[in-house]
Structure 1
Amino acid sequence: MKQSAVHSRALDWLNFFLADVRDGLGPYLAIYLLAVHQWQPASIGLVMTLAGVTALVAQTPAGALIDRTRAKRAVIVIAALLVTGSCLLLPFMASFTLVALTQTVSALAGSVFAPAIAAITLGITGPKAFTRRFGRNETFNHAGNACSALLAGGLAYLFGPVVVFYLMAVMTVMSIIAVARVPADAIDHQQARGLSDAAHGHDQPAGLRVLLHNRTLLLFAVCCALFHLANAAMLPLVSQKLSQIDLRLATPLTSACIVAAQLVMVPMAMLVGNKAEQWGRKPFLVAGFFVLALRGALYVLSDNPFWLVGVQLLDGVGAGIFGALFPIVVKDLTAGTGRFNVSLGALTTAFGLGAALSPGIAGLVVQAAGYDAAFLTLAAIATAAWLLVWLALPETAPQMDRTLEYAES
């Protein structure tokens, strides 16, 4: 299906405004709980881990839902309202149980965003144009994150950390307007689940067993889990260190970290979208995983706030490459199966497991041995993931005449 300028603009604004909503409060939750309620790092990590575990359990069913439903736009609207509503309740509660409950609901609802956006994009563009278009998606997503982080930092400096909750509400309203501008009849729902692939000649979804027998897909799932096990806790740990250095500047400096990374992610996403077909997926993945390991090691060299913000620029390279490539690789490995979104959900579960465990593990290491030990632990995990990608993961780009490898049934 040929993508019109109207469809392109609608996807642009949807990704821009949804950027602040899809991840909930993110690192701001750690700052809020530490600064307002004086929680211990281990308790903060546990809340984030509980929410993450809930999200990872929901990812595969969320992908299956998006594969089946034709109301993909409505799913995004409902999820955005639930995420924002859960976060808006936080200023009115302080107990561990209630905070954990709100963040669990937020994580549960947020599990649909990634497969829904990917499905709508694939349904509009088709597989041939998906790589370039998804790179553009990520470009606008990172620009939206940078914009909202700038606003959050400035407003939090003036009015306190609670203001980030209300900023999310504004972004939710804009997201609903944006998703309404995506034409419902422009989405090919068979194509959106990865079924319309002439090369495979299938018109019905393959059995889920074909995914379990895809060794490359399973290996990629392990790599994803290790990446997020190393990555997810880094920014919350930096936020906590900044809170100890200067509590009043913690939220603005965290916003600076996010903005710095997001600004770097914009050109990274554009580069992936423009060059991943020509250069292949693996060179980008190797570079992204290496930068993650380097970033974890560099954090321990100084507690200077400007150094910490500077190191956070590397998150823009590593996470920017991974975020843009993740659905593209899944699309490569599931072409023609009709199981694109459930596979996307299943692999999101894999890296969600890593992301959920990361804050809890890091919080325990911080209490036992300090922040430097926690950063080095995360860097070691990232190094293991980089070696696995470099030595074991094959190229997945279809134009390189790669044959998918399946294990014996």
Structure 2
Amino acid sequence: MASTTLPNPRAERALDLLSFALSDVRYGLGAYLAVYLLTEHAWDEASIGLALSFGGMVGLVSQTPLGILVDAIRAKRALLGGAVMVVTATSLVIPLAPHFWAVAAAGIIGALAGTTMGPTLAAMSLGIVGPARFAHRAGRNEALFHLGNGVINLVILFTAPFFGTAMVFVMMVLTAAGSLVAVARVPAGSIDHRLARGLLPDGRGHGERPSPWGTLLASRPLMVFAATGALFHMANGPMLALVAQKLALGHPGQGIMFTAACAVAAQTVMVPAAALAGARADSWGRKPLFLAAFVALALRGSLYTLSDHPTWLIGVQLLDGVGAGLIGALFPVIVADLTRGSGHFNAAQGAVGTVHAIGGITSGIITGFVVVNAGYQAAFLTLSGIAALGGLGFLLGMPETRPAGGGTAPAEVPVPAD
């Protein structure tokens, strides 16, 4: 079994490259897809939300079984590489058949592959660095992910006026190739597969057979984390797409450029926010940092309603960086805290992620109809209220999960045996 308690510079450099390169592949075309369908093919907001919801639903029901797969499988590099190729292929199919059911089908297939990426990267990271250094590694992964996303969106921002929508697809191909190179550079022997599934460094744990829903339902903190996280994603999920659509409709022909500008604005803050979470989660605790993400999200939704000027809307998008940077870095850390010693880390990520995804999916459908019937301002205020409710629930119901000693040593959190 590979030793992962000591630094492995080669493996960690490969994780750095992988985190950076995955930034444009992990979520497919993202907000660009909504703008592409809206401006290039005259789809309405409700149709966009409905078509994309199919992939969301598949992602929802597949997270837990795919988490079990990540726990069980030792070929984690091959799993991640295969997912990259599938997501890229489904994204490239859309321009060839930009019709409702073709887009929905591509979303379904892409969701199955894309859902494995986050848990697999987290598992590889935990298996390489061990639990004592995982908070720092998770923050570094997230910071590099957002740095890569910012660089890619900056390239699109400056090239879209000359090459149009095609640049979105070109960058998808380039970053997919980079991701495959990065996966190949992770030494296979550097991953301790027992640590990667959440067992303790000495091999102790509560069993080998995954039972993610039992783990979730038996832990009140995990249930609170799942429920409040669902409210966060319910509020956060549609915001960037709504802002991008609003800008695209107000400034015909500039939709892709404004979408890239919004993404770049957010990424400039996500990088330091994620790095801060990784650097301070052990000393400050997880709870205050996670709560700050709810505050930023509620404020962001309210501020969008004050002006329609592109400079204002793009400026407010900076707050997206605070919320997304903190949440992205802390999600696997908190799940690892609450499942340590269980052997269910990735399966529990899937179970909690399923609950979180319920919020994002339902919000995408609801806000599409709110926009059509009541306008963008009503949608933003609704999302802001949902974020405030989630933050209040997290403040009152969620304990601090930081291990004793500030995370300098792994601490076992009791989890019922299978």
Counterpart in the other structure of 1:279: 284
1:4 partnered with 2:31 = no
Shift, 1:400, TM fit:
6.1
Moved more, 381-390 or 209-218: 209-218
Moved more, 283-292 or 189-198: 189-198
Shift, 1:204, TM fit:
3.4
Counterpart in the other structure of 2:153: 149
- The alignment-based identity, stated in percent, is 48
Counterpart in the other structure of 1:373: 378
Change (3 A) 1:97 1:68: same
For residue 306 of structure 1, what is the amino acid of its counterpart?
T
1:52–1:107 contact (8 Å) kept in structure 2: yes
Shift, 1:265, TM fit:
0.8
Q: Distance between the aligned counterparts of 2:114 and 2:66, measured in 1? A: 10
User: How many equivalent pairs are there?
Assistant: 408
Q: Structure 1 unaligned runs (5+)? A: none
1:120–1:192 contact (8 Å) kept in structure 2: yes
Cα shift readout 1:379-402 (whole Å, capped 9, x = no counterpart): 111010010011111111112699
Picking from 39, 42, 47, the partner of 1:38 is: 42
Picking from 91, 94, 118, the partner of 1:90 is: 94
- The 5-angstrom pairing of residues 245-260 of structure 1 reads 245-260=250-265
Counterpart in the other structure of 1:330: 335
Picking from 60, 75, 79, the partner of 1:56 is: 60
Q: Distance between the aligned counterparts of 1:87 and 1:279, measured in 2? A: 40
- The 5-angstrom pairing of residues 183-222 of structure 1 reads 183-198=187-202, 202=206, 204-205=208-209, 207-208=211-212, 209-222=214-227
1:16 partnered with 2:1 = no
Change (3 A) 1:297 1:405: farther
Counterpart in the other structure of 1:28: 32
2:68–2:210 contact (8 Å) kept in structure 1: no
Picking from 222, 240, 243, the partner of 1:238 is: 243
For residue 298 of structure 1, what is the amino acid of its counterpart?
L
Shift, 1:39, TM fit:
0.4
Q: CA RMSD in A?
A: 1.8
Q: Distance between the aligned counterparts of 1:37 and 1:207, measured in 2? A: 45
Cα shift readout 1:350-406 (whole Å, capped 9, x = no counterpart): 111111122211110001100000000101110100100111111111126999688
Moved more, 221-230 or 3-12: 3-12
For residue 376 of structure 2, what is the amino acid of its counterpart?
Y
Change (3 A) 1:368 1:396: same
For residue 212 of structure 1, what is the amino acid of its counterpart?
L
2:194–2:203 contact (8 Å) kept in structure 1: no
Picking from 292, 302, 310, the partner of 2:307 is: 302
2:206–2:415 contact (8 Å) kept in structure 1: no
- The 5-angstrom pairing of residues 386-397 of structure 1 reads 386-397=391-402
Q: Distance between the aligned counterparts of 2:205 and 2:244, measured in 1? A: 51
Change (3 A) 1:229 1:181: same
1:174 partnered with 2:216 = no
For residue 160 of structure 2, what is the amino acid of its counterpart?
A
Shift, 1:225, TM fit:
0.7
Shift, 1:40, TM fit:
0.6
Shift, 1:348, TM fit:
1.2
1:79–1:112 contact (8 Å) kept in structure 2: yes
Change (3 A) 1:198 1:211: farther
2:21–2:176 contact (8 Å) kept in structure 1: yes
Secondary structure of 2:229's match? helix
For residue 85 of structure 1, what is the amino acid of its counterpart?
A
Q: Structure 2 unaligned runs (5+)? A: none
TM-score calculated relative to the size of structure 2: 0.94
Q: Distance between the aligned counterparts of 1:138 and 1:207, measured in 2? A: 27
1:296–1:375 contact (8 Å) kept in structure 2: yes
For residue 354 of structure 1, what is the amino acid of its counterpart?
G
Q: Distance between the aligned counterparts of 2:52 and 2:310, measured in 1? A: 24
Counterpart in the other structure of 1:124: 128
Q: Distance between the aligned counterparts of 2:361 and 2:272, measured in 1? A: 28
Change (3 A) 1:38 1:57: same
Q: Distance between the aligned counterparts of 2:30 and 2:148, measured in 1? A: 15
Q: Distance between the aligned counterparts of 2:412 and 2:370, measured in 1? A: 43
Shift, 1:207, TM fit:
4.6
Secondary structure of 1:109's match? helix
Q: Distance between the aligned counterparts of 1:210 and 1:118, measured in 2? A: 19
2:290–2:327 contact (8 Å) kept in structure 1: yes
1:212–1:218 contact (8 Å) kept in structure 2: yes
Moved more, 391-400 or 358-367: 391-400
1:196–1:202 contact (8 Å) kept in structure 2: no
Q: Distance between the aligned counterparts of 1:391 and 1:183, measured in 2? A: 43
TM-score calculated relative to the size of structure 1: 0.96
Q: Distance between the aligned counterparts of 2:205 and 2:70, measured in 1? A: 22
Q: Distance between the aligned counterparts of 1:183 and 1:169, measured in 2? A: 24
For residue 235 of structure 1, what is the amino acid of its counterpart?
L
Picking from 343, 346, 367, the partner of 1:362 is: 367
Q: Distance between the aligned counterparts of 1:146 and 1:394, measured in 2? A: 33
Moved more, 194-203 or 124-133: 194-203
1:51–1:356 contact (8 Å) kept in structure 2: no
For residue 38 of structure 1, what is the amino acid of its counterpart?
A
